[in-house]
Amino acid sequence: MTLEAILAYLHLLAILTMVVFIASEAALCRIEWLNAAVVERLAKVDRVYGIAAVAVIATGVARTWWGMKGTAWYWTNPLLHLKLTLFVVVGLISVFPTLRYLRWRKALRATGALPAEAEVRKTRKLVMVQAHIIAVIPLLAVFLARGFGARS
Protein backbone atom coordinates (compact mmCIF):
# COMPACT_ATOMS: atom_id res chain seq x y z
CA MET A 1 0.00 0.00 0.00
CA THR A 2 2.84 2.41 0.83
CA LEU A 3 4.61 1.60 -2.45
CA GLU A 4 1.38 2.28 -4.35
CA ALA A 5 1.03 5.67 -2.65
CA ILE A 6 4.65 6.61 -3.32
CA LEU A 7 4.39 5.58 -6.97
CA ALA A 8 1.16 7.58 -7.36
CA TYR A 9 2.78 10.62 -5.74
CA LEU A 10 5.86 10.44 -7.97
CA HIS A 11 3.68 10.04 -11.05
CA LEU A 12 1.55 13.06 -10.11
CA LEU A 13 4.64 15.11 -9.31
CA ALA A 14 6.11 14.30 -12.73
CA ILE A 15 2.81 15.16 -14.45
CA LEU A 16 2.52 18.48 -12.63
CA THR A 17 6.12 19.34 -13.43
CA MET A 18 5.52 18.57 -17.10
CA VAL A 19 2.37 20.70 -17.16
CA VAL A 20 4.08 23.63 -15.46
CA PHE A 21 6.93 23.61 -17.94
CA ILE A 22 4.79 23.25 -21.08
CA ALA A 23 2.73 26.17 -19.75
CA SER A 24 5.97 28.10 -19.23
CA GLU A 25 6.98 27.40 -22.81
CA ALA A 26 3.60 28.63 -24.03
CA ALA A 27 3.97 31.80 -21.99
CA LEU A 28 7.53 32.51 -23.11
CA CYS A 29 7.18 31.62 -26.78
CA ARG A 30 5.57 34.89 -27.89
CA ILE A 31 7.02 37.23 -30.45
CA GLU A 32 6.22 40.29 -28.32
CA TRP A 33 8.25 38.90 -25.39
CA LEU A 34 11.11 37.30 -27.28
CA ASN A 35 14.58 38.62 -26.52
CA ALA A 36 17.97 37.01 -26.01
CA ALA A 37 17.27 36.02 -22.40
CA VAL A 38 13.97 34.38 -23.38
CA VAL A 39 15.61 32.36 -26.16
CA GLU A 40 18.12 31.02 -23.64
CA ARG A 41 15.37 30.38 -21.10
CA LEU A 42 13.17 28.52 -23.61
CA ALA A 43 15.93 25.98 -24.21
CA LYS A 44 16.30 25.42 -20.46
CA VAL A 45 12.56 25.21 -19.82
CA ASP A 46 12.19 22.74 -22.67
CA ARG A 47 14.95 20.57 -21.19
CA VAL A 48 13.10 20.35 -17.87
CA TYR A 49 9.86 19.63 -19.75
CA GLY A 50 11.57 16.73 -21.53
CA ILE A 51 13.01 15.34 -18.30
CA ALA A 52 9.58 15.57 -16.68
CA ALA A 53 8.01 13.74 -19.64
CA VAL A 54 10.51 10.90 -19.23
CA ALA A 55 9.69 10.82 -15.51
CA VAL A 56 5.96 10.62 -16.33
CA ILE A 57 6.54 7.55 -18.49
CA ALA A 58 8.94 5.94 -16.00
CA THR A 59 6.66 6.42 -13.02
CA GLY A 60 3.61 5.37 -15.02
CA VAL A 61 5.28 2.14 -16.10
CA ALA A 62 6.46 1.58 -12.52
CA ARG A 63 2.85 1.90 -11.35
CA THR A 64 1.75 -0.79 -13.79
CA TRP A 65 4.52 -3.16 -12.67
CA TRP A 66 4.58 -2.59 -8.93
CA GLY A 67 1.16 -1.06 -8.27
CA MET A 68 -1.72 -2.91 -6.67
CA LYS A 69 -3.66 -3.54 -9.90
CA GLY A 70 -0.74 -5.10 -11.75
CA THR A 71 0.26 -5.34 -15.37
CA ALA A 72 -2.55 -7.66 -16.45
CA TRP A 73 -5.17 -5.15 -15.36
CA TYR A 74 -3.49 -2.10 -16.90
CA TRP A 75 -2.07 -3.45 -20.15
CA THR A 76 -5.31 -5.10 -21.29
CA ASN A 77 -7.25 -1.84 -20.94
CA PRO A 78 -7.63 0.11 -24.20
CA LEU A 79 -7.73 3.41 -22.27
CA LEU A 80 -4.12 2.88 -21.21
CA HIS A 81 -3.16 2.39 -24.84
CA LEU A 82 -5.05 5.54 -25.82
CA LYS A 83 -3.27 7.50 -23.07
CA LEU A 84 0.09 6.20 -24.24
CA THR A 85 -0.74 6.98 -27.88
CA LEU A 86 -1.62 10.57 -27.00
CA PHE A 87 1.55 10.84 -24.94
CA VAL A 88 3.63 9.58 -27.88
CA VAL A 89 1.89 12.09 -30.18
CA VAL A 90 2.80 14.88 -27.74
CA GLY A 91 6.37 13.59 -27.65
CA LEU A 92 6.63 13.56 -31.43
CA ILE A 93 5.21 17.07 -31.71
CA SER A 94 7.62 18.29 -29.03
CA VAL A 95 10.62 17.38 -31.17
CA PHE A 96 9.98 20.34 -33.46
CA PRO A 97 9.92 23.09 -30.79
CA THR A 98 12.94 21.50 -29.10
CA LEU A 99 14.97 21.58 -32.31
CA ARG A 100 13.87 25.16 -33.00
CA TYR A 101 14.84 26.35 -29.52
CA LEU A 102 18.26 24.81 -29.93
CA ARG A 103 18.65 26.35 -33.39
CA TRP A 104 17.49 29.75 -32.10
CA ARG A 105 19.95 29.59 -29.23
CA LYS A 106 22.79 28.60 -31.56
CA ALA A 107 21.99 31.48 -33.95
CA LEU A 108 21.67 33.90 -31.05
CA ARG A 109 25.04 32.91 -29.65
CA ALA A 110 26.71 33.03 -33.08
CA THR A 111 25.21 36.19 -34.56
CA GLY A 112 22.92 37.74 -31.97
CA ALA A 113 19.94 37.16 -34.27
CA LEU A 114 16.49 36.47 -32.90
CA PRO A 115 14.14 34.10 -34.75
CA ALA A 116 11.67 35.33 -37.35
CA GLU A 117 8.18 36.22 -36.21
CA ALA A 118 6.56 33.54 -38.40
CA GLU A 119 8.78 30.83 -36.93
CA VAL A 120 7.98 31.90 -33.37
CA ARG A 121 4.24 31.81 -34.13
CA LYS A 122 4.48 28.32 -35.70
CA THR A 123 6.47 27.07 -32.73
CA ARG A 124 3.98 28.49 -30.23
CA LYS A 125 1.13 26.76 -32.08
CA LEU A 126 2.93 23.44 -31.70
CA VAL A 127 3.45 24.09 -27.99
CA MET A 128 -0.24 24.92 -27.61
CA VAL A 129 -1.27 21.73 -29.45
CA GLN A 130 0.88 19.75 -27.01
CA ALA A 131 -0.66 21.52 -24.03
CA HIS A 132 -4.18 20.81 -25.23
CA ILE A 133 -3.49 17.13 -25.89
CA ILE A 134 -1.85 16.82 -22.47
CA ALA A 135 -5.05 18.19 -20.92
CA VAL A 136 -7.06 15.25 -22.35
CA ILE A 137 -4.80 12.55 -20.90
CA PRO A 138 -5.93 12.99 -17.25
CA LEU A 139 -9.55 12.58 -18.37
CA LEU A 140 -8.63 9.17 -19.74
CA ALA A 141 -6.69 8.46 -16.55
CA VAL A 142 -9.65 9.02 -14.26
CA PHE A 143 -11.82 6.71 -16.35
CA LEU A 144 -9.04 4.12 -16.43
CA ALA A 145 -8.61 4.28 -12.65
CA ARG A 146 -12.33 3.63 -12.22
CA GLY A 147 -12.27 0.52 -14.38
CA PHE A 148 -13.77 1.82 -17.61
CA GLY A 149 -12.55 -0.23 -20.54
CA ALA A 150 -11.46 -3.12 -18.31
CA ARG A 151 -12.21 -6.59 -19.54
CA SER A 152 -14.29 -8.63 -17.16
pLDDT tens sequence across 61-93: 999 999 888 888 889 999 999 999 999 999 999
Distance from C-alpha of 101 to C-alpha of 40, rounded to nearest angstrom:
8
| 10-19, 21-30, 101-110, 142-151: least confident range | 142-151
Distance from C-alpha of 11 to C-alpha of 67, rounded to nearest angstrom:
12
**What are the tens digits of pLDDT across the range 124-139?**
999 999 999 999 999 9
Indicate if the pLDDT at residue 27 is higher than 80. yes
Determine the average pLDDT of the residues in 114-121: 98
Indicate if the pLDDT at residue 32 is higher than 90. yes
C-beta separation of 43 from 29 below 8 A? no
The domain ranges of the chain are 2-145
Q: What is the rounded average pLDDT for all residues in the chain? A: 95
Rounded (10°) angle between helices 78-111 and 117-145: 160
How much of the chain exceeds pLDDT 70, in percent?
Answer: 99
Indicate if the pLDDT at residue 152 is higher than 70. no
* Element spanning 141, H or E: helix 117-145
